Amino acid sequence: MSEPLISVVISAYNAEKYLDETLASVRAQTFSNYEIIVVNDGSTDRTAEIAAAHQGVFLLSQSNRGAAAARNAGIRAARGNYVAFLDADDIWLPSKLDKQAGRLLARPLTAWTYADALVFDSATRRTLCRIGESIRLYEGDILRPLLLRSFIPSATPVVKKTVLMEAGLFDEARERRIGEDWNMWLRIAERYPATLIDEPLAMIRVHAASVSRMADPFEAYRSKRSILERAIGRNPRVSSALRLRARANIAASAGLRCLHNAVRRVRPGGGQ
């Protein structure tokens, strides 16, 4: 059997509600030279059963160790020259891999590429926004803007496997488990320029159980601050002004999340 060009790594934890649709979106790709690796991260529902029912899916199972460890297991098992990441509740548009593979093959020295994405509400299926219209997406040397905010949609990067190995894989430390995608993209951006396909190629699902929505603001702050300080330590040429802005952005984000949570708990009449 010939080696696939791209290995699609899907980390899944209790994803029975969404995994069928996610896998169907991969199967619907107009590009066909790929393999699918689903890493079942200790699910207690039908996640493994659903993945196994899809023909050609390589299923790995492990005890619950978190998304970073699941992605690392998938990367190690990948046979492709490139690895694409997809969360078990997100969706790819049909031309996603085709357009990114075309870009990578046309520019063999390119280490990684990412794209814009749409955000949609799981309950209503309504599109909430296009990420690239809400925040600016960058290409080339993206380290400095990436230090200021995580702007790369998690369902879109396709990265050379050798680059992921060189960057040290995803950080599995619990104290940095929130923002592990940003952590990885920072370490890659320190070494290689990024290529952007400036159109939506994925759909990011927002629902009540989303990790980003459930995360405690203080835990998220500590995790992201740890990621940032490590990145600053690895890049001493980063200006002091940029460091201050990056730290302020993380603090402001945590403050806004606290305010949002407080407002959400307030009930009509002033009660909580």
Kindly state the DSSP code that residue 194 receives in the 8-state scheme: B
Domains of the chain by start residue, with CATH: 6-264 (3.90.550.10)
Candidates 81, 100, 89; CA nearest to 30 is: 100
Mean pLDDT of the chain, nearest integer:
92
Q: Is the pLDDT of residue 268 over 60?
A: no
pLDDT in tens, 137-156: 999 999 999 999 999 999 99
Q: Which of 9-13, 175-179, 187-191 has the lowest mean pLDDT?
A: 175-179
Is the predicted pLDDT of residue 50 greater than 50, yes or no?
Answer: yes
Per-residue pLDDT, 53: 95
pLDDT over threshold 50, residue 230: yes
pLDDT at 263: 61
Task: Note the pLDDT tens digit of each residue in 72-120.
Answer: 999 999 999 999 999 999 999 999 999 999 999 999 899 999 999 999 9
Average pLDDT, integer, range 60-76: 97
Token pair belonging to 70: 């699941």
Confidence category of residue 271, pLDDT binned at 50, 70, 90: very low
Sign of CA dihedral 260, 264, 269, 272: negative
Residue 127 has pLDDT above 80, yes or no: yes
The CA R_g of the chain, rounded to the nearest whole Å, is: 19
pTM across the whole model: 0.90
Query: How is residue 195 written in tokens?
Result: 């290529």
Asked whether the beta carbons of 126 and 120 are under 8 A apart, the reply is yes
208 or 67, greater pLDDT = 67
Amino acid, res. 192: Y
Q: Which of 53, 58, 90 is nearest to 75 (CA)?
A: 58
Q: What are 193-211's pLDDT values in tens digits?
A: 999 999 999 999 997 655 5
Pick the closest to residue 147 from 175, 193, 189 (CA basis): 189
Q: How confident is the model at residue 215 (pLDDT cuts 50, 70, 90)?
A: low
The partner residues of 11 in beta bridges, in order of sequence, read 39, 87
* pLDDT at residue 63 in the model: 96
- Res. 258 pLDDT band, cuts 50 70 90: confident
Q: How open is the CA angle 115-80-204, to the nearest 5 degrees?
A: 30
